Amino acid sequence: FGAGLLDALAQVAVDGQPVLLVAYDSEYPEPLRAKRDTPDCAGVAMLLTPSPSGALGQLTVAPTTDAAEALADASLDALRQAIPAMRALPLLRHMARGQAGEAVLDYLAPMQLRAAWTPC
């Protein structure tokens, strides 16, 4: 999820156009399945725009070496760890609650992404 988020935000910044970020994972075929067993299908989508007009909030992302944020709910955290698209769950929690906050998302160790969300 982190790589797609960075790429989508870069496209918004460079092109000045909205970008639909869609991250989806399903069961992988062999031989990938032997290396990463995905327990279920899951996806997330975000429309990222350069303009705050009509937006639900503002998202900023920066690299960090802080540990990725675990979720208090063990079942949701297991999904976050097992399904790459669900690495968005800590950020989605803030969005769904309509609360400002930061979430540290998994990326490429040792680097993670600090995503700050501010609702409009």
Q: Over its length of 120 residues, how does the chain's per-residue pLDDT go in tens digits?
A: 999 999 999 999 999 999 999 999 988 888 988 888 788 899 999 999 999 888 999 999 999 999 998 999 999 999 999 999 999 999 999 999 999 999 999 999 899 999 999 999
pLDDT at residue 115 in the model: 98
Calpha distance 120→118 (Å, rounded):
7
Entry pTM: 0.88
Helix (H/G/I), strand (E/B), else coil: 90? helix
Confirm if 120 and 52 have CB atoms less than 8 A apart: yes
The first and second tokens of residue 112, run together, are 């993670």
The first and second tokens of residue 38, run together, are 């995905």
**Strand order from edge to edge, sheet including 57-64:** 57-64, 111-119, 101-108
Per the omega criterion (within 30 degrees of 0), is the bond before 110 cis?
yes
Q: What are the φ/ψ torsions at residue 32 (nearest 5 degrees)?
A: -65, -35
Angle between helix 74-82 and 89-97 (nearest 10) = 130
Confirm if 23 and 44 have CB atoms less than 8 A apart: yes
